[in-house]
Amino acid sequence: MSESDILSGSDVVFDHGRGERIGIDEAVYCLGKSADQIGSILSLAETKGHGVLLTRLDTAKLQQLTAEHLDALDYCALSQTAYFGPLRPIMITGKVAIVAAGTSDAPVAREAARTLRHAGVDATLIVDVGVAGIWRLMDRIEEIRQFPIVIAVAGMDAALASVLGGLVQSTVICVPTSVGYGAAEHGRTALNAMLSSCAPGLLTCNIDNGYGAACAAIRILNSFR
């Protein structure tokens, strides 16, 4: 059985009504999908006039899409995300800060930022303020405190999340990343550290799940509308 027999465009059932039900549009998780499946989704979205967010779209799969689809994509290589079709205008500003411990965490932080922007939320991205040089964080802490929602993105020991949890009144959404040497266990150490934090009330997402953190922020913002 060939790959085309397993992964065909006819397998696609896109959830166009998700946004109306839960306030968050369906996104296309491209890892594990064939270029044919992704192309079918984009064609369906184009027919309905819907904008689509694509995540985990690597450059190899990107290059397999048709020229027409490629021309309609706004692609970010760092986060492996893309916008297709109409993009919402910015409707919310000054509500979400994404704070990343190091530049190695930037791809996950950028995925969160791009997800929020697709939903019409303009987030402030603050990178390389990890606690190994805690003065970097303290130089920005008053700025960070102005945001009601803070997404903390960190790998290794993920200490940034606990430190932020002890310094700000904001809702803190934690994202462990797979950044780190052997004992970091591809993000499991960071995940456990965030789940075990002594700072009360932290919310923790899955490893490298910047998309999920952004969706949590969107749900919080929507609850106040």
Q: How far apart are CA 193 and CA 225, in angstroms?
A: 33
What are the residue ranges of helices labelled H in the chain?
A: 3-6, 18-22, 35-48, 59-62, 67-71, 106-118, 134-138, 141-144, 159-165, 188-195, 210-223
Average pLDDT value for residue range 51-56: 94
Length, in residues, of the chain: 225
SS3 223: helix
pTM of the shown model: 0.91
Residue 7 pLDDT > 50, yes or no? no
Domain residue ranges in the chain? 3-84, 92-223
Query: Do 13 and 40 form a contact (C-beta atoms < 8 A)?
Result: no
Is 92-223 assigned to CATH 3.40.50.1970?
Answer: yes
Query: Do 190 and 180 form a contact (C-beta atoms < 8 A)?
Result: yes
Helices 210-223 and 106-118: crossing angle in degrees, nearest 10, is 40
Average per-residue pLDDT for the chain: 91
pLDDT (0 to 100) of residue 77: 95
Average pLDDT value for residue range 160-184: 96
pLDDT (0 to 100) of residue 11: 64
Q: How far apart are CA 182 and CA 33, in angstroms?
A: 30
Residue 46 pLDDT > 90, yes or no? no
pLDDT (0 to 100) of residue 56: 97
pLDDT (0 to 100) of residue 95: 97
